[in-house]
Amino acid sequence: MALNMIDLTTLEGKDTAGKVRQLCHKAAHLHHGFPDLPNVAAVCVYPTFVKLAKSLVADKGIKVASVATAFPSGQSFLKYKLEETKEAVSEGADEIDMVISRGRFHQGEYAYVFDEISAVKEACGKARLKVILETGELGNLDAVYFASQIAIAAGADFIKTSTGKIKPAATMPVTLVMLEAIRDHYHETGKMVGMKPAGGISNAKLALHYLIMVKETLGEAWLTNEWFRFGASSLANDLLKQLVKQETGIYQSANYFALD
């Protein structure tokens, strides 16, 4: 089910403890009408809210993901990026969503991009590392494939399309190319890498398209929240809407689903 593949996300400059608290409650209580629904996979927040989020969802089996490495631009010094990563992990982050240095990538400094990812991976310790390529800034699909290869080779546990701050965010062609990079890596090494399209997947039908793409490209082994995530904030409500429609035969107004 798509619900438990969601990283419920709030990444805004205006985020507050109150906002994060609301998000965490929603993560564990998706809809009052369906108490048996699974929880989302993780909540995704800025590093400063990791501790709070962890205290709210840790006992519910929901992971806490923190963005790091000068998200969303990545334009900072490596030592601060590593510091930030370590800090987020020590605050309790189970997963780190880092961004690659797109500027360096465009300058052809692929070794720098690779080294940076491996350094962050090391800083993560036990936390799983998701590497955001920000495909909307990479320019073409060849670059997306190459960046995927770099990230995977440098130790990414997941590769992720976007920060959500740049348009276009996740698209099907971009996701397919990244899935193909994962598939080619799996064929060569036997190692699985996860995939997280993020941004722009806001309804159930589109989510289904993505799931079918994963199934056809990688196979059913990837269709768990260990290997596949949606980075989304509004997808959950549309999924809920469809579930309620399935039960009752009637579409409910958006007002019946909590905005968080």
Helix (H, G, I), strand (E, B) or coil at 128: strand
Q: Does 59 help bind another protein (rule: CB under 8 A)?
A: no
Q: For another protein, which is the closer residue by CB, 83 or 247?
A: 247
Q: Does 226 help bind another protein (rule: CB under 8 A)?
A: no
Q: For another protein, which is the closer residue by CB, 91 or 184?
A: 184
State which amino acid sits at residue 4.
N
Own/partner pairs for 236-241, CB < 8 Å, 24+ apart? 236/3, 236/6, 236/8, 236/26, 236/30, 236/40, 238/202, 238/203, 238/204, 239/2, 239/3, 239/204, 239/207, 240/3, 240/30, 240/31, 240/34, 240/37, 241/204
User: Is 121 labeled as catalytic in the residue annotation?
Assistant: no
Q: Does 243 help bind another protein (rule: CB under 8 A)?
A: yes
| 8 Å CB contact between 120 and 82 | yes
Q: Does 247 help bind another protein (rule: CB under 8 A)?
A: yes
Rounded Cα distance, 187 and 260, in Å? 40
Q: Which of the ranges 73-81, 110-118, 230-238, 240-248 carries the binding residues for another protein, by CB under 8 A?
A: 240-248
Question: Using CB under 8 A, which of 21, 34, 48, 171 touches another protein?
Answer: 34
DSSP 170-238: S-HHHHHHHHHHHHHHHHHH----EEE-BSS--SHHHHHHHHHHHHHHT-GGG-STTTB-EEESSHHHH
Count the neighbouring beta carbons within 10 Å of the beta carbon of residue 239: 24
Rounded to the nearest 5°, which phi and psi values hold at 198? -140, 135
Q: Does 239 help bind another protein (rule: CB under 8 A)?
A: no
Q: Which of the ranges 34-42, 119-127, 153-161, 249-257 carries the binding residues for another protein, by CB under 8 A?
A: 34-42
Q: Does 211 help bind another protein (rule: CB under 8 A)?
A: yes
User: Is 196 labeled as catalytic in the residue annotation?
Assistant: yes
Q: Does 70 help bind another protein (rule: CB under 8 A)?
A: no
Q: Does 223 help bind another protein (rule: CB under 8 A)?
A: yes
Q: Does 256 help bind another protein (rule: CB under 8 A)?
A: no
Which one from 81, 196, 241, 260 is the annotated catalytic residue? 196
Closest CB 248 distance from another protein, rounded Å: 8
Q: Does 153 help bind another protein (rule: CB under 8 A)?
A: no
Residues catalogued as catalytic: 97, 160, 196
**Chain positions contacting another protein, by CB under 8 A:** 1, 33-34, 36-37, 142, 177, 180, 187, 211-212, 215-216, 220, 223, 243-244, 247-248
